[in-house]
Amino acid sequence: MGYREFIEENVRLVILKSLATEVDYALNEHILLAALEAFGHHKTRDYLRNQLRWLENEVGAVSLKEAGSVLVATITSAGLDHVARRTALEGVQRPSPES
């Protein structure tokens, strides 16, 4: 695995873990960008949108809806199972055992 793939897999995990901690399992893209920055990922809105669409279309880990000009992501049961280490989604970094 190359560096770019490693970063993308980590970004996807940060997104899922951030969504899993919310009471309603949902966050908008502005809050998700801030979450990524907290973990050292300084990414553009377009980059985040591409990752969210990948998570929705490739592994079904999130569902997306538009609220005006903003995307809102909600974690699905597949995403929750990955975060809880019940299953492993290809292309998403696995959570560490202590998280």
Percentage of residues in the chain having pLDDT higher than 70? 99
CA 39 distance to own-chain centroid = 13
Residue 45 pLDDT level (bands cut at 50, 70, 90): very high
- Report the mean per-residue pLDDT for the chain: 97
99 pLDDT more than 60 = no
| Residue range 3-83, CATH number | 1.10.10.10
| pLDDT tens per residue across span 81-96 | 999 999 999 999 999 9
State how far the Cα of 63 lies from the Cα of 68, in Å rounded to an integer.
16
Tokens of 32: 């998700």
35 pLDDT more than 90 = yes
Contact 20, 83 (CB under 8 A): yes
Q: Is the dihedral of CA 86, 89, 92, 93 positive or negative?
A: positive
